């Protein structure tokens, strides 16, 4: 078993020690960060602190020095975000802090995405995402999209206030494996069910796996509506999407 002192970055050691409480998760975090090079840990640490300027600078410097874009993304940005996800899930941090970390991740991904795209790396899968009809809140959806893209998915963002017809049109056009719907309001949650019903009516329900999420949405509500998956937060969204496309969750 890997020991905490094998993680070479003092800040990340402290974060694991203070915030990762579940034994199996702690073991996984220690083992993951212990396997990362110190330069990657510096990027991860800056991301966890929400320092977008530092992440931007370090990412660019690493890529200029010849480090593989995938290593920077996996061992720096995504590893850092995994710890952020745990802190968020356990209520050690809240949405403003997560937004700052997401901003930092975006700063790093701005350098990495063009390289991956030029290299022709195949996406893990394609996902269509939108906030349901009548709901103009998109923070949760945007965090999910960022994490999905970071995990290698191609994501088509339909934005906010997406009608059932717009979801259907997007699924017919893009043929994604997964469609994600988000709602922040209890008043708009029923529109998730209406959208799923519209897929049934259009004889398209079997064409796509549907996952749902949003602050007021619960697993029971998701099941009642006939959704294929429910994610409590952006980290779970990635895990569910991977399950639905048939690759290991890894989260």
- Nearer to other proteins (CB atom), residue 26 or residue 232: 232
* Order of strands across the sheet that contains 178-182: 154-157, 126-131, 178-182, 209-213, 229-231
Two tokens, residue 202: 């259009």
Per CB under 8 A, 5 contacts other proteins: no
Write down the least CB distance from residue 202 to other proteins, Å. Answer: 20
Per CB under 8 A, 236 contacts other proteins: no
DSSP state letters, 125-172: -EEEEEEBTT----HHHHHHHHHHHHTT-EEEE--SSB-HHHHHHHHH
What's the CA gap between 134 and 140, in Å, rounded? 16
Strand pairing report for 229-231 and 154-157: unpaired
Per CB under 8 A, 215 contacts other proteins: yes
Write down the least CB distance from residue 212 to other proteins, Å. Answer: 12
Write down the least CB distance from residue 233 to other proteins, Å. Answer: 10
Per CB under 8 A, 51 contacts other proteins: no
- Nearer to other proteins (CB atom), residue 17 or residue 224: 224
Per CB under 8 A, 123 contacts other proteins: no
By CB under 8 A, name the binding residues for other proteins.
50, 91, 94-97, 99-100, 103, 133-139, 142, 160-161, 184-190, 215-218, 220-221, 224
């Amino acid at each position: 078993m890997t020991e905490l002192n094998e993680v070479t970055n003092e800040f990340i050691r402290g974060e694991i020690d203070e915030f990762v409480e579940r034994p199996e998760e702690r073991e996984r975090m220690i083992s993951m960060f212990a396997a990362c090079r110190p330069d990657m840990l510096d990027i991860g640490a800056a991301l966890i602190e929400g320092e977008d300027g530092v992440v931007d600078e370090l990412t660019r410097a690493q890529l200029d020095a010849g480090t593989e874009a995938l290593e920077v993304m996996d061992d720096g940005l995504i590893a850092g975000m995994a710890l952020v996800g745990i802190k968020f899930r356990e209520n050690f941090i809240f949405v403003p802090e997560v937004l700052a970390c997401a901003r930092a991740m975006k700063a790093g991904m701005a350098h990495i995405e063009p390289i991956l795209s030029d290299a022709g790396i195949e996406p893990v899968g394609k996902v269509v995402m939108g906030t349901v009809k009548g709901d103009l809140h998109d923070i949760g959806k945007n965090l999910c999209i960022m994490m999905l893209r970071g995990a290698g998915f191609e994501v088509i963002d339909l934005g906010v206030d997406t009608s059932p017809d717009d979801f259907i049109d997007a699924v017919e056009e893009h043929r994604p494996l997964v469609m994600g719907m988000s709602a922040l309001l209890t008043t708009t949650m029923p529109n998730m069910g209406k959208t799923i019903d519209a897929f049934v009516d259009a004889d398209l329900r079997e064409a796509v796996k549907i996952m749902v999420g949003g602050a007021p949405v619960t697993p029971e509500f998701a099941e009642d509506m006939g959704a294929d998956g429910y994610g409590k937060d952006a980290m779970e969204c990635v895990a569910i999407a991977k399950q639905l496309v048939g690759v290991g969750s890894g989260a």
